[in-house]
Structure 1
Amino acid sequence: MRRLLFLFFLVLAVPAWALKPSRVWLATPDSRGLSYQTVALTTPDHAQLVAWVVAPAPNVPDRHTTMVVAYGDFGNMSYELDQAQALAAAGYRVYLFDYRGFGHSADFGIDEQRLYYPEFSLDLGAALADARRRYPHSRTGIIAFSMGTIMGTEVAARTRCDFFVAEGYVASPQRLVAYQLKSRQKVVSLPAAAAAYSQHAPRVRCPWLLIAGTADQHTPLADSVAVARVARRRQRRQVLSFEGGHLQGMPVLSEAAFGDKYVREISRFLAAKS
C-alpha cells in the first residue's frame, strides 16, 4: 500500500512548470477522515477564494500552530490532502486554499504558458491574514512547494509570518524558464514582477526551513544552500536535504506513515530557539 501511495504521489508531484489548474477537486478532507471546515475569503483586490481549514488530529497534542499551504502550478488544493493528513497527524492545523482560477475559487484568465501570476501572492497573503484572524493565539506560517515558494517568499518578505517552510525553492524564475527552454524546448513566460523577485529573499525575517532534494535539477539543492548561507544576523535559516528529486521530500522521508519523518524534521526546526 505504501508503495502504491509513493508512486501515486510522484505522479501528482511532477511539476508542470507552467500553469495547469484544475477546477475539479479529487476529494475533500473528510474522505481522509479529517475534520475540517470550508471557508470563504476575499483578497484585497476583491477576488473570492475558497479554503479548507483542517483541524489537528484528535488523538495527538495540539501544537497550536497553523500551516498555510502554498502549492505549486498544478491541480488545486485537493492535491495536497496527503500533505495535510501528515501535518494534521502531528498536531498541526492546516489551512488549504485555492488560488484564483484554481479549484472552486474565482474565475481568472490563465495563460497556461505562464509560470505564475503576481495575483497569487495576494491570494496567499489573504489566506495567511485570514488564518491569523481566525486563530489569533496560534503560531501561523507558510509551507510552500515548488511554484508556491515564489509566492511564499514574497509574502514572508512583506507580511508578519511566524515561520516559512519551502520545498523546491525557486531562487530564480528566469533561470527556471531558461532551463525549461533548453531541456524541454518549452517556452514559458514570466510576469513583469519577476524582475524584482530576487529582492524578496533578503527581506524574509522569520525562521526559514528550506527542503531540497540532492537530485533536483529544477530547483537545485545549491540554491537553497545559497539563500541559507547569506542569512544576516537574526535571520535563522536551515537546509534539510534528502536523497531524491523535485518534491519527493514527503514520500522519501516516510517511515511508519506517509511523511512522518518529514513532519518531525519540520517540528524539530520550529521547536529550536532563534
Structure 2
Amino acid sequence: MRNFLSFLLLFLTCTVYALEPIKEYVDHPGNSEYKFEAVEILTEDAYKLKSWIIFPKEESDLHRTLILAYGDNGNMSYLVRQVLEVVGQGYTVVMFDYRGFGESQDFVVEKDVLYYDEFTLDLKAVVNYTKARFDTKIGVWALSMGTIYATELYSQLPYDYLIAEGFVGNPKKVVEVVHKHLERELTLPESSSKYELALSKLSLPVLFFAGDRDGLTSPEDSYRAKYLNEKSEVILFKGGHLQGFQALSNEYHGQRYIEAISSFYERTFKE
C-alpha cells in the first residue's frame, strides 16, 4: 500500500511537469485590495511580455522586491492568491508570463520539450526592468522549472537572492524520471549540457523549500546546491512537489513560508 501511494504521489507530480501554456486568466490582481500595475516588458529578442506588479499597502511596505518565475504550466494568474499573501506581508511582487503563456506574445511551445532557453531570456528582461525600476534588493522567487531559468540567468545577470521551491539540480534526471514512471519521452535544449556549469556559479544566497515526498525534484538537489553559498538554507516540509505554501500555512495561507522568507532576508542582509 505504501509503495502504491508513493507511486501515486510521483505520478501526480510528474503529470504537471510538462509545458502546458494556458492563455486565459483565472484570477486577476484587480480583484484584490492592493494597488497594481499592468505593464509590458520587451525582451532582447523583441518579444512582448505581460506583467503585473502588485504593491503592498504603504504602512506595511518593507521595500523588498520579488520577481515570480513560475513553473511550466498555466500562467501567472494561477499564482495570484499566493502572491497576494506575500504582498500582504510587505513585499512588492513582479509577476510575468513567459512568451506563449497568458497574454504575453505568442510563441510555439512543443509539449515534448522540457524547457526552452527563451524563457531564460524572458526572466532576464524582467530582472533588468525590475532593477531599473526599484531601488531595492532584487530577489527571484522561482518554482519548479523556474529554478532552471533562475540558475541559468545568474551567471549572465546577477541578482541579489533566490527563493527556490522544487529546485532542479539536474534536468537530465527529470527527463529520466518522467520516462521511467510515465513512459513519456521529453527532450532537452542543447544548452542543458552546460547546466552543471551554470549551477556551479549559483553563488548567491538561496532559500530552498523542499518537499520530503517530492518524487521529481528531490530535497537532495537542494542540499547539494546549498553549499555554494554559506548563507543558503533549506526548509524541508512534509509534502510533494510545490506543496510548500500549503504545507507551511498556519493562521493564514502560507504564513510559515512567508515568515521563512522574511527571516532569511533579514539574516542575509543583516536588517
TM-score (norm 1): 0.90
SS at match of 2:51: strand
SS at match of 1:141: strand
Structure 2 CA distance, aligned partners of 1:253 and 1:98? 26
SS at match of 1:125: helix
Q: Do 1:211 and 1:249's aligned partners in 2 also have CA atoms closer than 8 Å?
A: yes
* Pairing 1:116-135 to 2, within 5 Å after superposition: 116-135=115-134
Within the candidate set 261, 267, 272, 2:267 is matched to 272
Structure 1 CA distance, aligned partners of 2:182 and 2:13? 18
Q: Do 1:156 and 1:164's aligned partners in 2 also have CA atoms closer than 8 Å?
A: no
Structure 1 CA distance, aligned partners of 2:103 and 2:268? 39
Letter in structure 2 aligned against 1:187: E
How many residue pairs get aligned? The number is 258
Structure 1 CA distance, aligned partners of 2:259 and 2:101? 30
Residue equivalent to 1:249 = 244
Q: Which sections of structure 1, spanning at least 5 residues, go unmatched?
A: 1-11
* Pairing 1:23-102 to 2, within 5 Å after superposition: 23-60=23-60, 62-102=61-101
Structure 2 CA distance, aligned partners of 1:206 and 1:225? 15
SS at match of 2:234: strand
Residue equivalent to 1:139 = 137
Structure 1 CA distance, aligned partners of 2:268 and 2:79? 29
Deviation at 1:205, TM superposition (A): 2.6
Letter in structure 2 aligned against 1:115: L
* 1:196-229 deviation per Cα after TM superposition (whole angstroms, max 9, x unaligned): 1111122123211111011111000111111113
SS at match of 2:155: helix
Letter in structure 1 aligned against 2:252: A
Distance 1:223 1:13, change over 3 A: closer
Residue equivalent to 1:240 = 235
Deviation at 1:144, TM superposition (A): 0.3
Q: Which sections of structure 2, spanning at least 5 residues, go unmatched?
A: 1-11
Deviation at 1:14, TM superposition (A): 7.5
* Pairing 1:98-177 to 2, within 5 Å after superposition: 98-135=97-134, 137-177=135-175
Pair 1:260 & 2:255 matched? yes
Letter in structure 1 aligned against 2:158: R
Deviation at 1:155, TM superposition (A): 1.4
SS at match of 1:186: coil
* 1:25-72 deviation per Cα after TM superposition (whole angstroms, max 9, x unaligned): 112102133320000110011111110000013452x11111000000
Structure 2 CA distance, aligned partners of 1:93 and 1:14? 31
Q: Do 2:205 and 2:268's aligned partners in 1 also have CA atoms closer than 8 Å?
A: no
RMSD of the alignment, in Å? 1.6
SS at match of 1:38: strand
Structure 2 CA distance, aligned partners of 1:217 and 1:258? 24
Structure 1 CA distance, aligned partners of 2:14 and 2:170? 19
Deviation at 1:167, TM superposition (A): 0.2
Runs ≥4 residues deviating over 3 A: 12-15
SS at match of 1:158: coil
Letter in structure 2 aligned against 1:196: K
TM-score (norm 2): 0.91
SS at match of 2:123: helix
* 1:124-157 deviation per Cα after TM superposition (whole angstroms, max 9, x unaligned): 010011011111x211110000011100111123
Q: Do 1:86 and 1:259's aligned partners in 2 also have CA atoms closer than 8 Å?
A: yes
Letter in structure 2 aligned against 1:43: T
Task: Select between 202-211 and 46-55 the one with higher mean Cα deviation.
Answer: 202-211
